[in-house]
A and B are shown apart, each in its own frame.
Chain A
């Protein structure tokens, strides 16, 4: 594994310019790659936040030692849903560099959200109904951030643009959970 450890300085050139005085040098001294560590750190913190939410029965990071996503079991009745169970899947990629705007593919990619990351919060019911908020490149909506849903697994998704105002990652999670509650109560 010695040939694949973080190489000092190798990512600092194009890693996020803002705050680079801090993130490029001192953070990397712990031996890991900064984006890899940040993804696990943020998902681990979001796990704690999600556990506080009244609709969440349990939440775990997957895989346990290396969070690539969070999987939660929800109480659908909290959202006014009739099913017995529901689940939530959350992904977070904190460093989207180079972002879509870097090659001028989508100049307004980051409109509607102040947080620059790729993320998804997706709700599933065993009936086949699923919906979620996605901030990722897609061919359906201008910009990245959108809501998508389908009533059955065999149906195509419908897509619509949405916007979020939270400027902290934890705040955004709570904003998305509230937005999810609003969508599900309709």
Chain B
């Protein structure tokens, strides 16, 4: 159950192990995934044994922090989207008043309108498609992708509590 202490571990891994527990490392590796991964893969990245990773992942699944899916007979793990959504909404409500929420929503809408005008595009997908064109330089493609990412982030937050009317449903 103890962390794997390998003499071959790179120096940065030793620093990480010194400052974060096995559970924290398993959780952190899992919560930053871009696609579902197996327990052995997560174990290797977190420098724990596969059984330790499985124990911690099971606990995270029980807490609805992580989802478990079956891929060809092997369990794969990924952050639970509903947990992420609720955590972000709670943080938003804790940090902001209703007035601030509507002001933020207005700012996000203004930003999106500005992107639409600046890039003459209706969605961030258009920017990503444009970035793929052969005639676009690497720097221009990066700029388009970054703008698309900003736009997607604004959309995500605009969609959060469905702002005003959703808050009213919650009695806030």
Q: Give residues of chain B (54-110) contacting chain A, Cβ–Cβ below 8 Å.
A: 69, 71, 76, 78-79, 81-82, 84-85, 88, 91-92, 95-96, 104-105, 108-109
User: Would B139 and A137 count as touching, CB distance under 8 A?
Assistant: yes
Judge if B118 is at the interface, Cβ distance under 8 Å. no
Per-position binary interface string of chain A over residues 82-95, scored 1 when its CB falls under 8 Å from any chain B CB and 0 otherwise: 00000000000111
Cα–Cα distance between A117 and B153 once the two chains are bound (Å): 15
Of B28, B133, B141, which contacts A48 at CB under 8 A?
B28
User: Would B34 and A175 count as touching, CB distance under 8 A?
Assistant: no
Knowing A1-B163, A10-B123, A65-B96 touch, does A102 contact B29 (C-beta < 8 A)?
no
User: Would A39 and B35 count as touching, CB distance under 8 A?
Assistant: no
Q: Which residue of A lies closest to B153 (CB)?
A: A36
Judge if B46 is at the interface, Cβ distance under 8 Å. yes
Knowing A16-B35, A52-B19, A98-B128 touch, does A22 contact B78 (C-beta < 8 A)?
yes
Judge if B158 is at the interface, Cβ distance under 8 Å. yes
User: Would A167 and B153 count as touching, CB distance under 8 A?
Assistant: no
User: Would A42 and B32 count as touching, CB distance under 8 A?
Assistant: yes
Judge if B15 is at the interface, Cβ distance under 8 Å. yes
Of A10, A22, A39, A68, which contacts B125 at CB under 8 A?
A10
Per-position binary interface string of chain A over residues 111-124, scored 1 when its CB falls under 8 Å from any chain B CB and 0 otherwise: 00000011000000
**Chain A residues positioned under 8 Å from B125 (CB to CB):** 10-11
Judge if A166 is at the interface, Cβ distance under 8 Å. yes
Judge if B129 is at the interface, Cβ distance under 8 Å. yes
Knowing A29-B81, A93-B146, A94-B34 touch, does A5 contact B155 (C-beta < 8 A)?
yes
Question: How far is the CB of B125 from the nearest CB of chain A, in Å?
Answer: 5
Q: Which residue of B lies closest to A178 (CB)?
A: B12
**Chain B residues positioned under 8 Å from A64 (CB to CB):** 91, 95
Judge if A165 is at the interface, Cβ distance under 8 Å. yes
Q: Give residues of chain A (66-94) contacting chain B, Cβ–Cβ below 8 Å.
A: 66, 68, 93-94
Identify the 4 closest CB pairs spanning chains A and B, nearest first: A19-B35, A36-B156, A36-B152, A169-B32
Question: Can you add 19 more A-B contacts, CB < 8 Å, to A39-B152, A52-B24, A102-B132?
Answer: A1-B109, A14-B132, A16-B34, A22-B78, A32-B160, A33-B124, A35-B152, A39-B153, A41-B31, A45-B28, A45-B32, A66-B108, A98-B131, A139-B139, A168-B45, A169-B32, A171-B16, A174-B15, A178-B12
